[in-house]
Amino acid sequence: MTQMHPFHESARAVPDRKGIALFRKRVLSWFNKNKRKYPWRETRDPLRVHIAEMMLRRTKADQVKPIYERIFAEYPDVESLAKAENKRIEDILYPLGLRWRTPAFSIVARQIKERYHGKVPENIEELTALSGVGTYVAGAVLSLAYGKKEWIVDSNIVRLFRRY
Protein backbone atom coordinates (compact mmCIF):
# COMPACT_ATOMS: atom_id res chain seq x y z
CA MET A 1 0.00 0.00 0.00
CA THR A 2 1.41 3.40 -0.93
CA GLN A 3 1.67 6.05 1.71
CA MET A 4 -0.67 8.98 1.15
CA HIS A 5 0.69 12.51 1.13
CA PRO A 6 -0.32 14.20 4.43
CA PHE A 7 -2.32 16.92 2.64
CA HIS A 8 -3.86 14.74 -0.08
CA GLU A 9 -7.65 15.10 -0.52
CA SER A 10 -8.20 11.51 0.56
CA ALA A 11 -6.05 11.91 3.66
CA ARG A 12 -7.45 12.80 7.07
CA ALA A 13 -8.91 16.30 7.33
CA VAL A 14 -6.12 17.35 9.69
CA PRO A 15 -2.56 16.21 8.93
CA ASP A 16 -0.47 14.71 11.68
CA ARG A 17 2.37 16.62 13.36
CA LYS A 18 4.94 15.07 11.07
CA GLY A 19 3.02 16.17 7.96
CA ILE A 20 2.60 19.69 9.31
CA ALA A 21 6.31 19.91 10.19
CA LEU A 22 7.30 18.72 6.72
CA PHE A 23 4.96 21.17 5.01
CA ARG A 24 6.20 24.04 7.18
CA LYS A 25 9.85 23.15 6.53
CA ARG A 26 9.31 23.07 2.77
CA VAL A 27 7.41 26.35 2.66
CA LEU A 28 9.98 28.16 4.81
CA SER A 29 12.85 26.71 2.80
CA TRP A 30 11.25 27.86 -0.45
CA PHE A 31 10.55 31.32 1.01
CA ASN A 32 14.12 31.75 2.28
CA LYS A 33 15.48 30.94 -1.20
CA ASN A 34 12.96 33.02 -3.17
CA LYS A 35 11.81 35.89 -0.96
CA ARG A 36 11.99 39.41 -2.27
CA LYS A 37 13.13 42.27 -0.10
CA TYR A 38 10.41 44.71 0.95
CA PRO A 39 10.56 47.38 3.67
CA TRP A 40 7.36 46.16 5.36
CA ARG A 41 9.06 42.79 5.91
CA GLU A 42 11.86 44.49 7.81
CA THR A 43 9.76 46.32 10.39
CA ARG A 44 7.68 45.44 13.37
CA ASP A 45 6.08 48.89 13.45
CA PRO A 46 2.34 48.11 13.48
CA LEU A 47 1.42 51.30 11.62
CA ARG A 48 3.83 50.52 8.79
CA VAL A 49 2.59 46.93 8.56
CA HIS A 50 -1.01 48.16 8.58
CA ILE A 51 -0.45 50.76 5.84
CA ALA A 52 1.49 48.24 3.74
CA GLU A 53 -1.39 45.78 3.96
CA MET A 54 -3.82 48.51 2.91
CA MET A 55 -1.66 49.30 -0.12
CA LEU A 56 -1.09 45.67 -1.06
CA ARG A 57 -4.78 44.90 -1.61
CA ARG A 58 -5.12 44.05 -5.30
CA THR A 59 -1.76 45.66 -6.00
CA LYS A 60 1.62 44.12 -6.84
CA ALA A 61 4.26 44.38 -4.12
CA ASP A 62 6.91 45.76 -6.50
CA GLN A 63 4.58 48.64 -7.36
CA VAL A 64 3.83 49.33 -3.69
CA LYS A 65 7.45 49.52 -2.51
CA PRO A 66 8.35 53.04 -3.77
CA ILE A 67 4.96 54.44 -2.74
CA TYR A 68 5.26 52.89 0.73
CA GLU A 69 8.69 54.49 1.13
CA ARG A 70 7.35 57.84 -0.07
CA ILE A 71 4.36 57.81 2.31
CA PHE A 72 6.58 57.15 5.33
CA ALA A 73 9.20 59.66 4.23
CA GLU A 74 6.48 62.32 4.40
CA TYR A 75 4.31 60.88 7.16
CA PRO A 76 6.52 58.88 9.53
CA ASP A 77 3.96 58.39 12.31
CA VAL A 78 0.25 58.29 13.19
CA GLU A 79 0.21 62.00 14.13
CA SER A 80 1.48 63.22 10.78
CA LEU A 81 -0.64 60.79 8.78
CA ALA A 82 -3.77 61.75 10.73
CA LYS A 83 -3.14 65.41 9.83
CA ALA A 84 -2.36 64.72 6.16
CA GLU A 85 -4.52 66.31 3.51
CA ASN A 86 -6.40 63.81 1.37
CA LYS A 87 -5.20 65.56 -1.79
CA ARG A 88 -1.56 65.00 -0.84
CA ILE A 89 -2.14 61.33 -0.02
CA GLU A 90 -4.06 60.98 -3.26
CA ASP A 91 -1.07 62.42 -5.17
CA ILE A 92 1.28 59.93 -3.51
CA LEU A 93 -1.02 56.95 -4.14
CA TYR A 94 -1.85 57.99 -7.72
CA PRO A 95 0.70 55.65 -9.41
CA LEU A 96 -1.01 52.68 -7.73
CA GLY A 97 -4.49 53.63 -8.91
CA LEU A 98 -5.63 53.79 -5.31
CA ARG A 99 -7.40 57.16 -5.40
CA TRP A 100 -10.59 55.55 -4.13
CA ARG A 101 -8.71 54.35 -1.03
CA THR A 102 -7.23 57.74 -0.16
CA PRO A 103 -9.68 58.62 2.62
CA ALA A 104 -9.08 55.26 4.34
CA PHE A 105 -5.47 56.16 5.18
CA SER A 106 -6.40 59.37 6.98
CA ILE A 107 -9.49 57.90 8.64
CA VAL A 108 -7.59 54.93 10.08
CA ALA A 109 -4.75 57.16 11.30
CA ARG A 110 -7.25 59.50 12.99
CA GLN A 111 -9.09 56.60 14.60
CA ILE A 112 -5.83 55.18 15.96
CA LYS A 113 -4.83 58.62 17.24
CA GLU A 114 -8.17 59.43 18.86
CA ARG A 115 -9.33 56.03 20.13
CA TYR A 116 -6.00 54.46 21.04
CA HIS A 117 -3.77 57.48 21.76
CA GLY A 118 -1.68 56.90 18.64
CA LYS A 119 -0.93 53.23 19.33
CA VAL A 120 -2.16 50.60 16.88
CA PRO A 121 -4.38 48.15 18.81
CA GLU A 122 -2.97 44.78 19.82
CA ASN A 123 -6.14 42.69 19.62
CA ILE A 124 -8.38 41.53 16.81
CA GLU A 125 -11.55 43.12 18.15
CA GLU A 126 -10.11 46.65 18.30
CA LEU A 127 -8.28 46.29 15.00
CA THR A 128 -11.36 45.12 13.11
CA ALA A 129 -13.30 48.00 14.65
CA LEU A 130 -11.09 50.38 12.65
CA SER A 131 -12.54 51.63 9.37
CA GLY A 132 -11.90 49.23 6.50
CA VAL A 133 -9.95 46.70 8.56
CA GLY A 134 -10.98 43.08 8.14
CA THR A 135 -9.64 39.89 9.66
CA TYR A 136 -6.83 39.55 7.10
CA VAL A 137 -5.28 42.97 7.79
CA ALA A 138 -5.86 42.58 11.54
CA GLY A 139 -4.21 39.15 11.47
CA ALA A 140 -1.25 40.50 9.51
CA VAL A 141 -0.72 43.37 11.97
CA LEU A 142 -1.01 41.09 15.00
CA SER A 143 1.26 38.43 13.53
CA LEU A 144 3.89 40.52 11.74
CA ALA A 145 4.09 43.53 14.05
CA TYR A 146 3.21 42.08 17.43
CA GLY A 147 4.46 38.52 16.96
CA LYS A 148 1.12 36.98 17.92
CA LYS A 149 -0.13 33.71 16.47
CA GLU A 150 -2.92 34.80 14.13
CA TRP A 151 -4.35 33.50 10.89
CA ILE A 152 -3.40 35.33 7.72
CA VAL A 153 -5.26 33.61 4.92
CA ASP A 154 -5.60 35.14 1.47
CA SER A 155 -6.00 33.74 -2.03
CA ASN A 156 -2.26 33.03 -2.25
CA ILE A 157 -2.36 30.84 0.87
CA VAL A 158 -5.43 29.00 -0.41
CA ARG A 159 -3.66 28.43 -3.74
CA LEU A 160 -0.57 27.14 -1.93
CA PHE A 161 -2.58 24.58 0.07
CA ARG A 162 -4.46 23.44 -3.04
CA ARG A 163 -1.24 22.91 -4.97
CA TYR A 164 0.45 21.11 -2.11
Beta-carbon contacts of 52 under 8 Å, excluding residues fewer than 6 positions away, are 38, 39, 40, 64, 68
Kindly report the CA angle at 11 between 7 and 13, in degrees rounded to 5? 80
From 53, 74, 90, 122, active-site residue: 53
For the chain, percent of residues with pLDDT exceeding 90 = 72
**Lowest mean pLDDT, pick from 21-35, 95-109, 132-146:** 95-109
CATH number for the domain formed by residue range(s) 44-145: 1.10.340.30
Please tell me the predicted confidence (pLDDT) of residue 157: 87
pLDDT at 94 over 80: yes
What contacts 24+ positions apart, CB below 8 Å, involve 119-125?
120/46, 120/47, 120/50, 120/78, 120/145, 122/46, 122/146, 122/148, 124/150
Q: How confident is the model at residue 5 (pLDDT cuts 50, 70, 90)?
A: low
pLDDT at 4 over 80: no
The pLDDT tens digits of the residues spanning 123-135 come to 999 999 999 899 9
Query: What predicted TM-score, i.e. pTM, was given to this entire model?
Result: 0.84
Sign of the Cα torsion 108, 110, 115, 117 reads positive
The pLDDT tens digits of the residues spanning 69-87 come to 999 999 999 999 999 999 9
* Strand ranges in 7-65 using DSSP code E only, listed in sequence order: none
How crowded is the C-beta side of 149, counted as CA atoms within 13 Å? 0
pLDDT at 150 over 80: yes
Please tell me the predicted confidence (pLDDT) of residue 42: 95
Please tell me the predicted confidence (pLDDT) of residue 10: 52
- Length of the chain as a residue count: 164
Mean pLDDT across the chain: 90
Distance CA 51, CA 55 (A): 6
Write down the domain spans for the chain.
44-145
53 flagged as catalytic: yes
